[in-house]
C-alpha cells in the first residue's frame, strides 16, 4: 500500500512538496486554512484591476519548470514566462534615472554614462556575485545543512578554502562601498538585502550573491502574472492525484511515541505515515506543536522586515514606468535604522511600484494601471499601525508626486491595503515577516530550522521560514531538500 503524507499549508513550498511527494509515489493530502491555494503568492481583483498580492519578482524559473518535468510534463504547455530586458527602473529625487538592463554590457555602459561609474566596476562586481553563487549555492541552497554529509562533500571542502572571498567577514554595504565610487550605485546594490528582508548595513557581504540571480541569470515575468506560478502548480498537483482541503486549518500535529502520526482538523484525527509542515515555523511551534519541545534558540531569531502595500487602481498611463520601479530614499541608512532599530517607518521611504499591466494589459482597464505600491517596514511588534500607515501613505504620495511630477491622489480610483498585521492573519507568518528570519548576522543561515525535526520522527518542514530561507526560489528548494530527506528516511 502507498505510504500517506499530510501537508499543512498550501504555500508555494507546500504545493511543490505535494508534487514532489506524489511523483515519488506517496499518497498526498494538503490541509489549507484559507479558501485558496498559494499563501503569500495569491491575487486580488478589484473593480477591473488584478494585482499579484505578494511576490512580484520572479527569478530562477527552472525551479518551477523542474516540477513539470518531474511529472513527465512539458513546462511550456502549462506555464509561460518571459525574460525582462530591463530588470528595474530606478529614480532618484535629483532627477537621475537608471535602467537596469539585463544585458550587462548595456547596463554597465548606462551606469558609466549616467552616473560616471567606470563600466568595469559593474562587471567586476557581478563576477564576484557569480563567484559567491558558484561556491555557496550547491552547499546552502540545494542541501540540508543539518546532515553531516553536506559538510564533508567535495563542494563544501572547496568552499572552505575560499571563505575569505565569500564576504562572510564584511557587510553588504561595506563591500559595495569598496566596489563603487558613486553612492547611488552603492544604494542600488545595497537594495538586494531587501530581497530577503535584511539590513544591508548588517547583513554579511555574502548576500551579494543576490544580484547574480537578477543580472547574470535574469529577472522574469510569468505571462499570466505571478499568481500563475501558484495556479499552474496547483493544477499539476491535482492532476497527480493530490487531494487539497481548503478552509481546513490544522489544529494539532499528533505525536505518538515520538513520531508524527497525523493531524487534527476540525476536531477529527487524520492519520498518515508522515507529516510535512509548510506553516510558518514559529507560529507552528506556538500552536499546532505547542505540546512539543520548543527549539527556543531558533524560535527567538530576529525576523525579517515586513511590507506595507497599497494596491492602487490608477486612472492614467505613466509611460516612464515599467514592471519594476524604485523611487529611492535620500537617506538609505536612516531608512534601515527606522525599520530594524526603531521599529518605525522613515518619513522618506524607498517606494517600489510594480505594474503588471505594463506586460499584461488586461490587469487594468484601458489607459489605466494597476500599481502595487510597496515600502519595506518593520515586522509587527504591536506598533500603532493605523497612524503609521496614514502617515506613510501621505509621504509615499508626496514622494511620487515630486519624482514623477504628478498629482497622484485624484488618480487613485481603487485602493486596498496589506500591512504586517494582515500578512500575519492571512498567512500565519510570525510578526508579518516576509521571509522568516532576517539574515542580519553571519550565523543566520545556520539558525534556520532544518527541513526535518530532530525530536519528532516523521515530521518534516518546508517553506520560507525554514532552511534554505524565504523567497519563491528558496521556498521551492526547501520542498526539494525535504523530499530527498523523506525518501532517504521512510
Q: Shortest approach of ligand FAD to residue 307 CB, angstroms? A: 4
Q: Shortest approach of ligand FAD to residue 184 CB, angstroms? A: 22
Q: Shortest approach of ligand FAD to residue 423 CB, angstroms? A: 5
The beta strands (E) that lie in 227-329 are given as 243-245, 250-256, 259-265, 268-271, 274-277, 306-314, 324-327
Q: Whose CB is nearest to ligand FAD?
A: 11
Give me the sign of the Cα torsion angle 105, 110, 112, 115. Answer: negative
Strand order in the sheet with 412-418: 97-101, 86-91, 324-327, 351-354, 369-377, 306-314, 412-418
C-beta closer to ligand FAD: residue 8 or 141: 8
C-beta closer to ligand FAD: residue 110 or 228: 228
Q: Using the structure block, give the residue that is written with the C-alpha cell 536612516.
A: 334
Q: Which residues of this protein are in contact with ligand FAD, per CB under 6 A?
A: 8-14, 31-34, 39-41, 54-57, 249-250, 278-280, 288, 307, 309, 423, 427-429, 434-435, 463-464, 470-472, 475
Grid coordinates in use for 252? 494539532
C-beta closer to ligand FAD: residue 28 or 111: 28
Q: Do 486 and 451 contact (CB within 8 A), yes or no?
A: no
Q: Shortest approach of ligand FAD to residue 363 CB, angstroms? A: 16
C-beta closer to ligand FAD: residue 173 or 429: 429
Query: In sequence order, what are the residues at sequence separation of 6 or more whose Cβ sits closer than 8 angstroms to the Cβ of residue 110?
Result: 98, 99, 101
For helices 183-190 and 119-136, angle between their N-to-C axes, nearest 10 degrees: 20
Q: Shortest approach of ligand FAD to residue 448 CB, angstroms? A: 12
Distance of alpha carbon 317 from alpha carbon 71, whole angstroms: 42
Q: Using the structure block, give the residue that is written with the C-alpha cell 482538523.
A: 265
C-beta closer to ligand FAD: residue 38 or 204: 38
Backbone angles phi, psi at 19, to 5 degrees: -70, -45
C-beta closer to ligand FAD: residue 55 or 222: 55
Q: Shortest approach of ligand FAD to residue 178 CB, angstroms? A: 28
Q: Shortest approach of ligand FAD to residue 51 CB, angstroms? A: 11
Q: Do 265 and 9 contact (CB within 8 A), yes or no?
A: no
C-beta closer to ligand FAD: residue 408 or 477: 477
Amino acid at each position: 500500500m502507498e505510504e500517506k503524507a499530510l501537508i499543512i499549508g498550501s504555500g508555494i513550498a507546500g504545493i511543490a512538496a505535494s508534487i514532489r511527494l506524489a511523483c515519488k509515489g506517496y499518497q498526498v493530502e494538503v490541509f489549507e486554512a484559507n479558501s485558496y491555494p498559494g499563501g503569500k503568492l495569491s491575487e486580488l481583483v478589484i473593480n477591473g484591476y488584478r494585482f499579484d498580492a505578494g511576490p512580484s519578482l520572479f527569478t530562477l524559473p527552472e525551479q518551477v519548470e523542474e516540477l513539470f518535468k518531474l511529472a513527465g510534463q512539458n513546462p511550456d504547455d502549462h506555464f509561460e514566462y518571459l525574460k525582462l530586458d530591463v530588470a528595474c527602473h530606478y529614480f532618484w529625487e535629483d532627477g537621475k534615472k537608471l535602467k537596469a538592463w539585463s544585458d550587462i554590457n548595456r547596463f554597465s555602459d548606462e551606469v558609466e554614462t549616467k552616473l560616471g561609474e567606470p563600466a568595469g566596476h559593474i562587471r567586476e562586481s557581478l563576477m564576484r556575485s557569480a563567484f559567491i553563487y558558484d561556491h555557496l549555492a550547491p552547499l546552502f541552497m540545494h542541501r540540508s545543512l543539518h546532515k553531516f554529509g553536506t559538510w564533508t562533500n567535495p563542494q563544501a571542502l572547496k568552499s572552505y578554502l575560499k571563505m575569505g572571498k565569500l564576504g562572510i567577514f564584511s557587510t553588504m554595504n561595506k563591500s559595495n562601498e569598496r566596489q563603487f565610487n558613486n553612492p547611488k550605485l552603492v544604494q542600488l546594490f545595497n537594495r538586494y538585502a531587501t530581497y530577503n528582508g535584511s539590513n544591508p548595513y548588517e547583513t554579511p557581504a555574502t548576500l551579494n550573491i543576490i544580484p547574480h540571480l537578477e543580472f547574470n541569470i535574469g529577472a522574469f515575468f510569468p505571462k499570466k502574472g505571478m499568481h500563475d506560478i501558484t495556479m499552474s502548480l496547483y493544477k499539476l498537483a491535482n492532476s497527480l492525484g493530490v487531494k487539497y482541503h481548503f478552509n481546513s486549518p490544522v489544529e494539532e500535529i499528533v505525536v505518538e511515541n515520538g513520531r508524527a502520526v497525523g493531524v487534527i482538523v476540525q476536531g477529527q484525527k487524520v492519520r498518515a505515515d508522515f507529516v510535512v509542515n509548510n506553516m510558518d515555523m514559529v507560529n507552528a511551534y506556538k500552536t499546532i506543536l505547542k505540546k512539543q519541545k520548543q527549539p527556543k534558540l531558533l524560535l527567538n531569531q530576529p525576523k525579517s522586515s515586513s511590507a506595507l502595500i497599497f494596491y492602487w487602481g490608477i486612472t492614467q498611463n505613466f509611460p516612464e514606468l515599467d514592471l519594476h520601479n524604485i523611487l529611492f530614499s535620500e537617506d538609505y541608512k536612516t531608512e534601515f535604522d527606522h525599520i530594524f532599530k526603531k521599529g518605525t517607518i522613515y518619513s522618506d521611504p524607498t517606494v517600489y511600484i510594480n505594474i503588471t499591466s505594463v506586460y499584461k494589459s488586461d490587469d487594468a482597464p484601458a489607459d489605466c494601471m494597476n500599481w502595487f505600491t510597496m515600502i519595506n517596514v518593520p515586522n509587527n511588534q504591536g506598533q500603532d499601525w493605523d497612524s503609521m500607515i496614514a502617515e506613510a501613505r501621505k509621504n509615499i504620495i508626496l514622494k511620487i508626486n515630486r519624482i514623477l511630477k504628478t498629482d497622484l491622489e485624484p488618480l487613485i480610483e481603487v485602493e486596498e491595503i496589506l500591512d504586517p498585521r494582515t500578512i500575519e492573519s492571512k498567512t500565519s507568518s510570525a510578526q508579518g515577516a516576509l521571509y522568516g528570519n532576517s539574515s542580519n548576522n553571519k550565523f543566520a543561515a545556520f539558525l534556520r530550522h532544518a527541513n526535518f525535526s530532530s525530536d519528532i520522527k516523521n515530521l518534516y518542514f518546508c517553506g520560507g521560514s525554514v532552511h534554505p530561507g524565504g523567497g519563491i526560489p528558496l521556498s521551492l528548494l526547501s520542498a526539494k531538500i525535504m523530499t530527498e530527506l523523506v525518501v532517504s528516511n521512510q
